[in-house]
């Protein structure tokens, strides 16, 4: 017969480690490149340029919460639930 003892301290310590690992994984998602589909550019009356599009995965499904960056600037936006975005160019 095998006797197994559980220490509440050890169990709680493992739960805390797993929780911290999960938070770390969620805080630093892997960087991936997605190609915007149907990308369009527009100029408003003030002469400001913007780009709009939809970000999808390799299966064509829209990706929500993706950060879209303008290269070489701090200008960025996030896609909506349908993967759509509009970013004003600087």
Overall pTM surpassing 0.85 (yes/no): no
* Angle ∠(23,31,38) on CA atoms, nearest 5: 125
Give the burial class of 84: count Cβ atoms within 10 A of its Cβ; 0-12 exposed, 13-18 middle, 19 or more buried.
middle
Domain limits, the chain: 36-88
Q: Report pLDDT for 80.
A: 92
Question: What are 5-56's pLDDT values in tens digits?
Answer: 778 888 888 899 999 888 877 766 555 555 555 666 656 656 678 888 888 8
Task: Give the count of alpha carbons within 13 A of 11, CB side only.
Answer: 5
Residues with Cβ within 8 Å of 53's Cβ and at least 6 positions away in sequence, in order, are: 36, 37, 38, 39, 40, 84, 85
């Amino acid at each position: 017969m095998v006797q197994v003892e559980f220490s509440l301290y050890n169990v709680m310590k493992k739960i805390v480690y797993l929780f911290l690992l999960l938070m770390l994984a969620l805080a630093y998602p892997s960087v991936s490149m997605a190609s915007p589909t149907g990308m369009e550019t527009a100029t408003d009356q003030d002469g400001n340029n913007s780009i709009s599009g939809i970000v999808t995965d390799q299966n064509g499904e829209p990706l929500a919460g993706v950060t879209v960056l303008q290269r070489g600037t701090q200008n960025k936006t996030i896609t909506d639930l349908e993967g759509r975005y509009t970013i004003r160019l600087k």
